[in-house]
């Protein structure tokens, strides 16, 4: 998903990562800001990533100018193996399903 978000971000079509079924149920500006912050958090160099305090500042301040994100780390490590695909190629790729179980603990 990060790869897809990064590619869409670079193509200035980041809102296309959202489920079309929820179109109109969100603020495009807020979603773009969240995607932007998310990409800042997965940059290769940990020193370039914002701290949690900075993320909270970004989220709470609508007028703050966010820095431009750099490529996520795996793009640089696997550059020989990763081909940035076109939007049509993404349409043919199925997303993985995260099957996780949650356990809630209750006192006796």
> The whole model's pTM is what?
0.64
pLDDT classification of 8: cutoffs 50, 70, 90: confident
Region 6-33 average pLDDT: 85
Residue 82 has what pLDDT? 44
Reading the block at residue 1, the tokens are 């998903």
Task: Please give the Cα distance from 9 to 61 (Å, whole number).
Answer: 21
Q: What is the pLDDT of residues 24-80, one digit of tens each?
A: 888 888 888 999 999 999 998 999 999 999 999 999 998 899 999 998 877 554 444
Residue 78 has what pLDDT? 47
Q: DSSP 3-state assignment of 43? A: strand
């Amino acid at each position: 998903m990060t790869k897809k978000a990064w590619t869409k971000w670079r193509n200035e079509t980041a809102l296309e990562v959202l489920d079309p079924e929820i179109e109109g149920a969100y603020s495009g500006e807020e979603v773009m800001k969240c995607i932007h912050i998310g990409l800042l958090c997965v940059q290769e160099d940990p020193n370039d990533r914002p701290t949690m305090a900075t993320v909270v500042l970004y989220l709470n301040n609508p007028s703050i100018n966010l820095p431009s994100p750099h490529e996520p780390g795996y793009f640089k490590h696997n550059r020989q193996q990763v081909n940035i695909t076109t939007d049509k190629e993404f349409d043919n790729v199925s997303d993985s399903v995260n099957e996780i179980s949650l356990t809630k603990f209750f006192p006796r």
